[in-house]
Amino acid sequence: MSTEPADNARPLRADAVRSRALLMSAARDVFAVRGTEASVAEIAQAAGLGKGTVFRHFAHKDDLVVAIVDEMVDDLVATTEQLLHADDPAEGLRGFMTAGIELQVHNQAFCDVAAGAAVRQHPVLRGKIARLESAVEALVDRARRAGAVRDDITGQDVMLLLTGVYQTAAPMLPESPEIWKRYLALTFDGLQPAAARPLPA
Amino acid sequence: MSTEPADNARPLRADAVRSRALLMSAARDVFAVRGTEASVAEIAQAAGLGKGTVFRHFAHKDDLVVAIVDEMVDDLVATTEQLLHADDPAEGLRGFMTAGIELQVHNQAFCDVAAGAAVRQHPVLRGKIARLESAVEALVDRARRAGAVRDDITGQDVMLLLTGVYQTAAPMLPESPEIWKRYLALTFDGLQPAAARPLPA
DNA sequence: ACCTGAACACCGTTCAAGT
DNA sequence: ACCTGAACACCGTTCAAGT
C-alpha cells in the first residue's frame, strides 16, 4: 500500500488524507509524462498544494518517486505471477518481457528508474525489485524446463534485458513506436537453445 | 578538430588559446568521472578559470559536452575503420561492439550521451553519429557477406545494441565489472544466422 | 496536525566592469 | 578580446508563521 504513510505512523487527519490523495494522483500523471526530472513545484501545482506540503508527506523528492514507481512494480509483479500459469511457458516469458518494456514505453518515470536513476538504490525499491526478480526466476525456470530457453539463462538476465531491450530501441521510438518489438524478437532469438554458445563467466 | 572554435572564427588571442586548452582538459577529466551532470562551476574550478570564461568559449554547457563527446566518437570512428580490415569479419564486428561498450564502461559522459541525454540531438553530434553509423554499416555488410551475421541485421541495429548491451549490464557493473561480456556474448548469439527467426516489421 | 510561502544553497546563464 | 564574479531565474529542501 504505497499510498499509505509509513507503517508506524498514527492515522492521518482528514485534510491530510485528502492532500495525500491529490498529491499521489498528480505525481502519477506528471511523472508518467515528464519523468523523474519533473520538479516538485510542478507536481505541487498540479495537485493544487503548496510545495511545503509535498515535503511534509515525503521528506525527499526521491521518496515520492519511489512511492509512485513502487505501485508500478507491484502491478508488474501481479502480471508476472499470472503469466506463471500461461499455457505456453515460452509465451509466458515473452509476455513478461512485453509488459516490462511497454511499461517503459508508456511511463517516463518507470523508464528513468529502470535505466538506473539513483532512486534505484532506495531500500524500499530494492526490496520490491527483489520480489519481482524471484517471480521472474520462477517464470524462467518453467520456460527452461520446457526447453524454451537455453540452460545458462537466469531470471536476473531476463530482468536486466528488460532495460537493455528498451534502451536499444529508445532513440528510434519517436519515429518508430513499435521498434522495440524488433529488438525483443532479436533478443528472444538469442535466448533460444539453438543459438546457445558458451557464455563467459 | 573539436578543440578548435567554430570554423568561421578569427584566430584566438594567446591567453584565450591557453584558457581553452585548460578548459578542454579539465572537462575531459571531470566529465569522464562524473558524467554530464558535473556542474560548469566544477569544471571551471578544475581548469583554474572563472565560470564566465567557460561560457565565453561555449555558449551553453551542452556545447561543451558535445565538444568532448565529439572527440570520443572520432576515436571510435577511427577504430571502426581499422576493424574493417580485420582478418575475420565476425571478429571485426565483435571488436567494434567491444570498443563501444568499453567506452561506456570507462567514460561516464559518453555513457550518459549514448543512453539518450538530450545533447544527442545536437546537430554537430548527430552528424558525427551518422558518420559512425556508416562506418558500422560497412562492417556489418562485410560480416553479412561472410555469413557471420544473419541477413536481416543492419548497421543501425548494431549501433543501437551498443547502448542496449551496456544498459543491460549497467546495474551489475559495480559488483561485476566484466558482466557486460556476458550480455555481449548473448546478443552476439542472437545475431547468428543459426538463431534467425523472422523479425517483426 | 497540517498547510503555506518566504528563505537558503545550489544550478545554468547573462552581463557590467575590469584588463 | 578576453576574463571575472555578481546577479538572475531556476532547483530541492527547510522552517517560521499561520489555521
Render pLDDT for A68-102 as a digit per residue (tens, 0 to 9): 999 999 999 999 999 999 999 999 999 999 999 99
Q: Does A118 touch chain B (CB under 8 A)?
A: no
Those residues whose beta carbons lie under 7 A from strand C are A 10, 12-13, 15-16, 18-19, 49-53, 55-57; B 37-42, 51-52, 55-56, 59-62
SS3 percent helix, strand, coil of chain A, rounded to 5, is 75, 0, 25
Q: Alpha-carbon distance A44 to A51, whole Å?
A: 5
Confidence band for B2, pLDDT divided at 50, 70 and 90: very low
Lowest-pLDDT range, A50-59, A112-121, B30-39, B67-76? Answer: A112-121
Query: Would the CB atoms of A160 and B178 count as touching at under 8 Å?
Result: no
Instruction: Using alpha carbons, select from B186, B118, B170, B68 the residue that is nearest to residue A117.
Output: B170
Q: What is the pLDDT of residue B10?
A: 77
Under an 8 A CB cutoff, do B171 and A200 touch? no
Q: What residue of A is the nearest CA neighbor of B197?
A: A189
Q: Is any atom of nucleic acid chain D found less than 7 Å from the CB of residue A14?
A: no
User: Which residues does chain A have within 8 Å of residue B182's beta carbon, measured at their own beta carbons?
Assistant: 157, 199-200
pLDDT of residue A196: 94
- Whether the beta carbon of B16 falls within 7 A of nucleic chain D: the reply is yes
Of B189, B191, B199, the CB nearest to A196: B189
Chain B residue whose CA is closest to A181: B200
Local confidence band at A2 (pLDDT 50, 70, 90 cut-offs): very low
A182 CB within 8 Å of a chain B CB:
yes
Specify the residue for cell string 520490491.
A128
* pLDDT mean over B47-74: 98
Q: Which pLDDT score, from 0 to 100, does residue B102 have?
A: 98
- What is the pLDDT, as a whole number, of residue A9? 64
- How far, in Å, CA of B60 to CA of B36, rounded? 13
pLDDT digits (tens, 9 = 90+) for B4-48: 544 456 789 999 999 999 999 999 999 999 999 999 999 999 999
Q: How far is A145 from chain B (nearest CA, A)?
A: 20
As a 3-state breakdown, chain B gives helix, strand, coil percent values, each rounded to 5, of 70, 0, 30
Domains defined along chain A, listed by start: 10-59 (1.10.10.60), 61-190 (1.10.357.10)
The answer on pLDDT for B3 being more than 50 is no
Q: Is the pLDDT of residue A6 over 80?
A: no
Residue-level pLDDT at B167: 97
CA of A38 to C1' of D8 (A): 22
Give the closest-approach CA distance of B111 to chain A in angstroms.
12
Max alpha carbon distance in chain B (Å)?
Answer: 61
Report, as an integer, the average pLDDT of A30-50. Answer: 97
Contacts of B163 in chain A (CB under 8 A): 167-168, 170-171
Percent of chain A's residues with pLDDT above 90 = 93
pLDDT computed for residue A72 by the predictor? 98
What's the rounded mean pLDDT across residues A139-167? 97
